[in-house]
Amino acid sequence: MGHIGYGAMSYDVAHLLGGTMLLLSFALLSQRRITSTIDTYAIQAVTLAIAACWQGWVQNEPSLYLTGAIAFGAKAVVIPLMLKRSVRRLKLHDAREEALSIFTAMALGVALVALSIMVVLPTTMQAGALTREDLALALSVVLLGLLMMITRRTAFTQVIGFMSLENGLILAAVGVAGMPLVVELSVAVLVLVGFVVFGVFLRRMRVHFHSLDTAHLDRVGSAQR
């Protein structure tokens, strides 16, 4: 495998791909229109697929190509298409949703990235540079996904926040050399199964509430109970 560090091709490309994913996480935070949110998510998934394949090549681990293929097929193609179809069916394509102001969202996002760098870099002193920075980038993507889930109100964008969070998880898993396939496969299973669940819920929520706004969910936890 040779030396991996600044200036080495394998390192630079992995770093670039991880950085692109983080950038797209920021883009997701600032998107208001549901259709553009889905597009941005799809681009992030493509980046993840390329990152997984790149790691497969660098680590000489063919199973990672499979991870990349699953990420591309499921997350970059099938899921965005299904989401877009239900957006069309629910006539939400022009909908814009209220969220935090761009400045607040960006400031919180930058704070989370700083946090994850401050947490990961000192704890991984002995690990290779590639692993360290990959982990820091992955944790940032995870935290930004969480932030998106917290700050958005509709079920659609919360689902996308959740899936973006999982992109971060897979980025972490593929960056660790020699990790058995169990994790990648399990995440793929999770996304597929999870999405089936989500799809069912989206349909059912539409039937019951005529809206996808999760503010309706406060009914269960309301004070009278």
> Is 149 one of the binding residues for other proteins (CB under 8 A)?
yes
What DSSP letter does each residue of 20-61 carry, written as one string?
HHHHHHHHHHH--BHHHHHHHHHHHHHHHHHHHHHHHHHHT-
> Is 179 one of the binding residues for other proteins (CB under 8 A)?
yes
> Is 183 one of the binding residues for other proteins (CB under 8 A)?
yes
> Residues 102, 189, 210, 215: which binds other proteins (CB under 8 A)?
189
> Is 108 one of the binding residues for other proteins (CB under 8 A)?
no
What DSSP character marks residue 152? -
Q: Which of 108, 211, 193, 87 is nearest to 150 (CA)?
A: 108
222 residue type, one letter? S
Rg of the Cα atoms in the chain = 18
What is the rounded CA–CA span in Å between residue 50 and residue 65?
A: 9
> Residues 135, 137, 147, 148: which binds other proteins (CB under 8 A)?
135
> Residues 1, 127, 211, 215: which binds other proteins (CB under 8 A)?
127
Interface contacts to other proteins, rule CB under 8 A: 119-120, 122-127, 131, 135, 138-139, 142, 146, 149, 155, 158, 162, 165-166, 168-169, 172-173, 176-180, 182-183, 186-187, 189-190, 193-194, 197, 201, 204-205, 208-209, 214, 216-217, 219-221, 224-225
